[in-house]
Amino acid sequence: MAGVFDNPVLPYFAFYATVVVLKTMAMSFLTSLNRLSKGVFANPEDVGFSPGKGKIAADESIERVRRCHLNDLENVIPFVLVGLLYTASGPSLSSALLHFRIFTGARIFHTIAYLFALPQPSRALGFFVGVIATVSMAYNVLSAAKC
């Protein structure tokens, strides 16, 4: 019986899952960097970190990064969880790579479209393509389940 670590899909899943998780983590740092550079903070206790006079306010560019980060959390976590189950379900390597690459590319494109305010439907396309990849993996997991 082959073990989980003998699964030829697992290293590829690990790679693409790590890419999108690191991208999601980078959004936290980008939000903080924007807050510091603009001196705009969400909490009163954070104002002391500002080199000049900080203020409590909303800034559209900071909020845009924050919303993009929240959208990543809503999509990357399901991808990682469903992708792990999908990897364990024994998909073909070519099918798995297609799903992983489409999702990762869609999330990177979504972030670019969000941060640079590209006209719609660019951001929506990035979002829906990623969701479709995750739903497709979920469908394959459910189809392979022996219930």
What is the pTM for the complete model shown? 0.87
- In this predicted model, what pLDDT tens digit does every residue of 131-143 receive, in sequence order? 999 999 999 999 9
The residue with tokens 């909303």 is 58
Domain 4-144, CATH among 3.10.180.10, 1.10.10.60, 1.20.120.550, 3.90.25.10: 1.20.120.550
**Helix H or strand E encompassing 71:** helix 60-88
Under the banding of pLDDT at 50, 70 and 90, the label for residue 52 is low
- Show me where the domains of the chain are located: 4-144
Residue 68 neighbours by CB distance under 10 Å: 20
Residue 147 neighbours by CB distance under 10 Å: 3
**Confidence check: pLDDT of 2 > 90:** no
CB burial readout 119-140, b (16+ within 10 A) else e: eeebbeebbebbbebbebbbeb
